[in-house]
Amino acid sequence: MKSLVKRYNWLTKVHFDKKSGFHYYDRYRYKVFIRHPRHYLPEKDIQWLCENIIYKHYLPKDADQVVDLGVGYGDEAVYLKNLSPQVKYLGVEAQPVIYECACNTFRQLGSHFSVSPFAVSNEKSLRFASQFGYAAVGDTDNGYIEIPTLTWPELLDRYHIAEIDLLKMNIEGAERHVLSSIVDFSKVKRLVVSCHDFRANHGDGESFRTKEFVTKTLSDNGYHVTFFNYGMDWSDDWIFASRI
C-alpha cells in the first residue's frame, strides 16, 4: 500500500514538460524541474527544511546576496523567492543533468536568480559518474563526466559578488574541501552548512565525517557556531555560523 501511495503522488503532483524533456511540479506559482518523478519533494518537507534549518536563523531580505553551493533542483531558492523576491541568488550545481533542471527552474525567477555549472575547487577539473540518487555524487572514484571548476576567488569574480549575506552549502561531503579553499572569509557574513557525519555513520565512508572540521574552521575564522537539535542525524549535522 505504501508504494501505491507514493506512485499516486507522482501521478497527481508531477507533470512532464515536452519542451525541456524534464518533469516538474508546481511550487509557489513556479515550476521546479526534476530529472525523474521519484525526485518529487512534498511541499511540507521543503517548508520544514527551510523554516527549521536553512532560513531559521537568518531569512535573506531586500537585495541580500545568497550563494547556494549544491542548489539541486532549486526548491530552497523558489521558497525564498516567494518570501523575499528582491534577493540576489547564485545557485551552484556541478552535476550536469541537475544543473540543466535548475536552469529551467531559475529562468522563471528573474535575472537576479542565476545558476552556475562550476564546482568550487582548486583542481583544474573534476570527474563525476552518472547517479540516479542525487546524494550519490562522489561515491565513486571512476568518474567519466568532466566537470568544470573555479577556485573560490574566481567564482566571486566571475559573478561579481563583493559580499555574501548567506552562504548555504550542501555538497555531500565536499564541504571540507571547499572550506579549505576559502582563504578569506571576510566577505561571508553567515553560513548554513550540511555536514555529513550521518553518512559516515551509515557506512558510506569516513570521508563524509566533516562536522568537527567544519565547526573548527568556522570558529577559527571568527564565527559564532549554532547547532540544531531535532533528534534526527541528518538534520542535526547542519551548522549555522554568523559574524553578526
In this predicted structure, what is the pLDDT of residue 53? 98
Q: What single-letter DSSP state applies at residue 38?
A: G
Q: Which position has the higher pLDDT, 1 or 195? A: 195
| Average pLDDT of the chain to the nearest whole number | 92
At residue 3 the predicted structure's pLDDT band, cuts being 50, 70 and 90, is very low
Closest of 126, 188, 127, 128 to residue 152, by C-alpha: 188
Q: What single-letter DSSP state applies at residue 39?
A: G
C-alpha to C-alpha distance for 93 and 7, rounded to whole angstroms: 28
Closest of 120, 208, 123 to residue 164, by C-alpha: 120
Tell me: pLDDT of 227 over 80.
yes
Tens of pLDDT, residues 129-181: 887 655 555 545 678 999 999 999 999 999 999 999 999 999 999 999 999 99
C-alpha to C-alpha distance for 2 and 26, rounded to whole angstroms: 23
Tens of pLDDT, residues 92-120: 999 999 999 999 999 999 999 999 999 99
Torsion sign, CA atoms 203, 204, 205, 210: negative
Tell me: pLDDT of 216 over 90.
yes
**pTM score of the predicted model:** 0.92
C-alpha to C-alpha distance for 168 and 179, rounded to whole angstroms: 12
